[in-house]
Amino acid sequence: MRDLVCRKCGQKLSFENTLCLNCKSPLGFHLPARTMYVLDENAVTEVDGETLVRCANFDLISCNWLIPPVEPGASTPEGEPDPSALCESCRLTRTRPADTDTDAIAVFGDAETNKRRVILELDELGLPIRGRDVDPQTGLAFDLLSSAVNPVITGHADGVVTLDLAEGDDVHREQLRVSMDEPYRTLIGHFRHEIGHYYQMVLVGTGEHRSRFEELFGNPDDDYQAALDRHYSEGPPDNWKSDYVSSYATMHPAEDWAETFAHYLHIRDTLDTAAAFAMAPSGATLDSVLLGDVGFDQIIDLWLPLTWALNQINRSMGHQDLYPFVLPAKVLEKMRFIHGLISPAIL
């Protein structure tokens, strides 16, 4: 995440800001420019001759992303905002709680904030984001649902990411984290993991990289239900820490890929933020040229000392480690494969 500032007064801003707390200017984030802009009294701004307004979800969940204006009052037959009135992130959400469900809308807003961070990172990495409007069968979409009334299973199927909004509740999520013996469980982690399944389809599929995938992760067509039953009845193998980034990754090759992909995103975004605040070299940013094996080696050489320092800082404050994971050689080999698919070497 970049070091954002108010372009009117220079006040430091967070990615979520809709208002500068110093000069009280309304703000909006423009994805193509990856910049926060000051808006006028009508919540409008001009960028390179283009008029920009707030996403239609601003009033509902304080989405601060900017888009070109659309016809006033445009909506679908169901009464939802016209997709063109939504930002690049919000329009990917296919299903959400009703406006009248105020409790669910509050956690829905938190989920969308985390999703915007992930969409920004994917965009900066140059990963393709094809919605259901472009690819009705396997395009990316999100069903963000509340389990307060009906059960919801977080997961992925053919491009659709389903998230139980209860994961936005700190107490609920922490209870699950402890009961499932997980060292780390966050909303943004869920998004990165589930979207990893989508990018297995996009980057690997049945194409030229399938054989290498199977060498590293196993056969993704193995019976998933059988693997799930085995994992929850027997647990991970005793020596799992030598080959997997987490115990959950041992369940099935597709989960190993998704867990490893999520950790790659964790690493890249955290390094990018560290570089923005002079805690890592400028070459660690997402827009730096870090291609192929040489680029991956640079990433890991920067990551390991940074996480050691951050973990010690967290311990000084009485918190658990920021990154409570070990990256053995086999995990780095898997992660290198993912890096090569995202940032191939220039020959």
Q: What is the pLDDT of residues 148-198, one digit of tens each?
A: 778 888 999 999 999 999 865 555 545 554 455 565 668 899 999 999 999
- The tokens describing 82, both together, are 């016209």
Q: How far is CA 229 from the centre of its chain?
A: 28
Q: What is the pLDDT of residue 46?
A: 94
CA dihedral for 35, 345, 335, 290, sign (positive or negative):
negative
**Contact by Cβ (8 Å): 148, 104:** yes
Given a cut of 80, whether residue 345 has pLDDT beyond it is no
Task: Look over the chain and give the mean of its residue pLDDT values, rounded to a whole number.
Answer: 90
**Stretch 55-61: mean pLDDT:** 95
Q: What is the pLDDT of residue 70?
A: 84
**Contact by Cβ (8 Å): 213, 228:** no
- In terms of phi and psi (left: phi > 0; alpha: psi -120 to 50; beta: otherwise), the region of 35 is beta
**Stretch 10-34: mean pLDDT:** 96
**Stretch 249-278: mean pLDDT:** 96
CB-based burial, 292-306: b 16+ in 10 Å, e otherwise = beebbebbeebbeeb
Q: Please give the Cα distance from 44 to 64 (Å, whole number).
A: 12
Q: What is the pLDDT of residue 177?
A: 46
**Contact by Cβ (8 Å): 86, 72:** no
Given a cut of 90, whether residue 276 has pLDDT beyond it is yes
Strand partners, 52: 45
Banded model confidence at residue 125, pLDDT cuts 50, 70, 90: very high
- The tokens describing 252, both together, are 């099935």
Q: What is the pLDDT of residue 347?
A: 56
Q: Is the pTM of this model over 0.85?
A: yes
- What letter does residue 81 receive in the DSSP assignment? B
Q: Please give the Cα distance from 126 to 118 (Å, whole number).
A: 12
- The tokens describing 134, both together, are 């472009």
Given a cut of 70, whether residue 94 has pLDDT beyond it is yes
Q: What is the pLDDT of residues 212-228, one digit of tens each?
A: 999 999 999 999 999 99
By C-alpha distance, which of 172, 135, 167 is closest to 154?
167
| % of residues, the chain, pLDDT over 90 | 76
Q: Please give the Cα distance from 57 to 45 (Å, whole number).
A: 17
**Contact by Cβ (8 Å): 60, 69:** no
Given a cut of 70, whether residue 73 has pLDDT beyond it is no
**Stretch 224-241: mean pLDDT:** 93
Q: What is the pLDDT of residue 134?
A: 92
**Stretch 232-253: mean pLDDT:** 93
Q: Please give the Cα distance from 244 to 27 (Å, whole number).
A: 42
Q: Please give the Cα distance from 343 to 293 (Å, whole number).
A: 9
Q: What is the pLDDT of residue 150?
A: 82
Q: What is the pLDDT of residue 172?
A: 53
**Domain spans in the chain, listed from the N-terminal domain onward:** 1-83
Strand partners, 27: 38
Q: Please give the Cα distance from 290 to 287 (Å, whole number).
A: 9
CA dihedral for 322, 323, 325, 327, sign (positive or negative):
negative
Q: What is the pLDDT of residue 47?
A: 92
Given a cut of 70, whether residue 333 has pLDDT beyond it is yes
Q: What is the pLDDT of residue 178?
A: 46
Alpha helices in the chain (DSSP H): 58-61, 102-124, 170-179, 187-203, 210-217, 224-234, 253-276, 292-316, 329-342
Q: What is the pLDDT of residue 72?
A: 63
